[in-house]
Structure 1
């Protein structure tokens, strides 16, 4: 008998709980009725708009990211070309200087030999 009583009590409590919440919902509906529906519709519209804007922003971010990566690649290639050109120019100048110094050295040797021949 105790088991049956406990079951009845829990059913009554559950039933009362369900009835109480449905009563509260009914009171809310009476008081706020149309306003809540309007608010829900507005919130849904705002949600859709926000999601749409979010998707647009993500697409824009992706587009800008790909453009930036492409620009960085292009700039990197341009810089590499310019650095290579500068290296070649510097190497050419160093070769010219080396040749000029060799010529001076050769000239000095020739002048020494010429001086020795004159001295004889």
Structure 2
């Protein structure tokens, strides 16, 4: 029996709420009818303007993104070229150092031979 009363109370409140809402809407329409229509048209204009700006910004973002990716690819290529040049330069210097060390070794052998020849 308590459940039956609770259900009736909720239905009564819901029905009363809907009725009150429709009355408030009718009063608003009478008082602000023309203004609300003007506001609605202004809101629609703003909405279309915002959507147009959003699309424009998305296009700009896409353009910037593609340009950034292109620049990153270019920089990557430049960095790879410079790394290759540096590797070649380091390899050349290492070869020169090896040659210099060989020359030092030969020079030391020559000094030893020269020292032996002088002592004999």
Q: C-alpha separation between the residues in 1 aligned to 2:53 and 2:27?
A: 37
| Structure 2 residues without counterparts, runs of 5 or longer | 1-10
Residue number in structure 2 paired with 1:30 = 30
Q: TM-score, normalised by structure 2?
A: 0.78
Aligned to 1:114: 114
Aligned residue for 2:47?
Answer: 47
CA distance in 2, matches of 1:29, 1:20: 14
Offset at 1:87?
1.3
Which secondary structure does the structure 2 equivalent of 1:50 belong to?
Answer: helix
- CA shift, 1:118, in A, is 2.8
Aligned to 1:81: 81
Match in the other structure for 2:59: 59
C-alpha displacement of 1:35: 0.3
The TM-score normalised by the length of structure 1 is: 0.78
Question: Which sits farther off after the overlay, 37-46 or 56-65?
Answer: 56-65
- The root-mean-square deviation of aligned C-alpha atoms, in Å, is 2.1
In the TM superposition, residue 75 of structure 1 has moved relative to its aligned partner by 0.5
Q: Report the counterpart of residue 98 of structure 1 in structure 2.
A: 98
Q: For residues 37 and 89 of structure 1, what CA distance do their matches in structure 2 show?
A: 77
Q: Against the structure 1 CA distance between its residues 112 and 20, is the aligned structure 2 distance closer, same or farther, given a 3 Å change threshold?
A: closer
The 3 A distance-change label for structure 1 pair 41 and 108 is: same
